Amino acid sequence: MKRFALKTYGCQMNVYDADTLRTALLRSGWEESDDDSAAVVIYTGCSIRDKAEHKIWSDLGRHAETWKRSGRPVVAVTGCIAQNIGKDILGRFPWVRVVSGPRSIGLLPDALAQALTGGECIDLRDRDASAYHAIGVPPVERENRWKAHVTIAHGCDNFCTYCIVPYVRGRFLSRAPREILDEIRQLVATGVREITLLGQNVNSYGADFSDGYRFSALLRDAASIAGVDRLRFVTSHPKDFTADICDAMDDCATICPSINLPIQSGSDRILALMNRSYTLERYTATIEMIRDRFPDAGVTSDLIVGFPGETEVDFNASVDALRRFRFDLVHTAAYSPRSGTVAATMDGQLPEEEKNRRLNYVNDLQRGIALEINKSLVGKRFSILLDGFAPRGEDTLQGRTDTDKVVLLRGGRGEDLGRFALVEISEADHWCLHGSLIRFLD
């Protein structure tokens, strides 16, 4: 029996890829195991920031001893990191026998089998940024039984100046609607209740089609599939978020009122340097449109502090934006130069201490805002999909509201996972709500 272990880092795009790979391997006779008994350990790694890459470097080093002793396990590195620095990884660790880029995933199962028989290292970094080798299976072998992500478009053509993604994931390529809808049907057939459509910029889905089929049409078609109790989508791009998306959300009750709309900066000068293609005014108009139509929508965002040349004035504009928009959650990051991107060579790179000072400041501010928002929900009732155990505590279940708030429910039982529950919020933290069960809804 060929045994593999999977170690996945990074965003949901990597998780989706790793889940499809797991499914393909299990279907072709492999067995999943822990690292110690695996013949092949497969890392799917992220390159978005320096820190993300460091994690994998240190993990890869840990195989030295068993490799010297037994020549096992064979290690494969895939995902964005492999495309970015796969060559360095191959040169550094003799136990890494396969590297493969995100768009070559369909070639991996055969490559892994071949690597087990010895021979040369296999280098499957993507050579053509427009080609795509699909693996052709839905991600049915996942960690979470009730929720699944479905990638609707590969790559990204936006080339924000700080970002490595267009270089490692290649050109924007929408998957055919029929392929996506079929995949959703297959997922629902295995008991999935919540689907999240996934892409670096889901709003531009279909921009590469000639028949006018766009993201809002896909939303409507996906929402109409029987068994899809909830439909979400990430990530939206402020330059492409149009009113027809709100129309689809209005018309289809299963599309959740929760939107991630990364702002990245509150300063027009920095937004232009970032090549984000919108101004604060345009961003504001989009948020207002969303909140006019869905006053209770959960709205989250992403923000980078310490971009090259970011002055105190620019930084304060980002701080003001957080105060003004009062997001439910913000993924904040200190700017990390990525080699090969435009921003990495810009003048005005800021020292680490200053970037960290700014990061701590916005994190403190946002924590306070999120706590205030969450406290205002105490006493309210929500329907949540119970989707797992809370990080700490065996007797506490966790679920999410349609607005994507985490709710912890004490006294839950494992057999209630996968059910919708009506809960009343009793307490609030900045990152979660605590609720008590009113009744199950199914």
What count of other Cβ atoms lies within 10 Å of the Cβ of residue 229?
A: 17
From ligand F3S, ligand SF4, ligand SAH, none, interface partner of 333 (C-beta below 5 to 8 A by class): ligand SAH
**Residue 15 CB, nearest distance to ligand F3S (Å)?**
9
Nearest residue to 180 (alpha-carbon basis) of 143, 210, 209: 209
Exposure string of 16-29, with b = 16+ CB inside 10 Å and e = fewer, is bbbbbbbbbbeeee
User: Residue 397 forms beta bridges with which residues?
Assistant: 389, 409
Nearest residue to 322 (alpha-carbon basis) of 282, 369, 272, 267: 369
Question: Binders of ligand SAH: how many residues, by CB under 6 A?
Answer: 17
Amino acid code (one letter) for 237: H
Could you say which residues in the range 9-38 bind ligand F3S, by CB under 6 A?
10-11, 13-14
Nearest residue to 212 (alpha-carbon basis) of 252, 182, 241, 177: 177
Measured in whole angstroms, how far is the alpha carbon of residue 212 from the centre of its chain? Answer: 27
For the chain, give the number of residues: 442
Based on CB atoms, which residue is closest to ligand SAH, 341 or 401? 341
Amino acid code (one letter) for 386: L
Kindly indicate which of the ranges 60-68, 71-79, 331-339, 428-436 contains the residues binding ligand SAH, using the contact rule CB under 6 A.
Answer: 331-339
Kindly indicate which of the ranges 40-48, 214-222, 311-319, 377-385 contains the residues binding ligand F3S, using the contact rule CB under 6 A.
Answer: 40-48
From ligand SAH, ligand F3S, ligand SF4, none, interface partner of 166 (C-beta below 5 to 8 A by class): ligand SF4
237 binds ligand SF4 (CB under 6 A): yes
Cα dihedral sign for 60, 63, 68, 71?
negative
Given a contact cutoff of 8 angstroms between Cβ atoms, the answer to whether 96 and 75 are in contact is: yes
Kindly indicate which of the ranges 7-15, 75-83, 155-163, 385-393 contains the residues binding ligand SF4, using the contact rule CB under 6 A.
Answer: 155-163
**Residue 127 CB, nearest distance to ligand F3S (Å)?**
18
**Residue 163 CB, nearest distance to ligand SAH (Å)?**
4
Task: Give dist(CA 53, CA 76) in Å, integer.
Answer: 15
Question: Binders of ligand F3S: how many residues, by CB under 6 A?
Answer: 13
302 binds ligand SAH (CB under 6 A): yes
* Footprint on this chain of ligand F3S (rule: CB under 6 A): 10-11, 13-14, 46-48, 79-80, 164-165, 168-169
* Footprint on this chain of ligand SAH (rule: CB under 6 A): 48-49, 162-163, 165, 200-201, 235, 237, 262, 264, 302, 304, 333, 335-336, 338
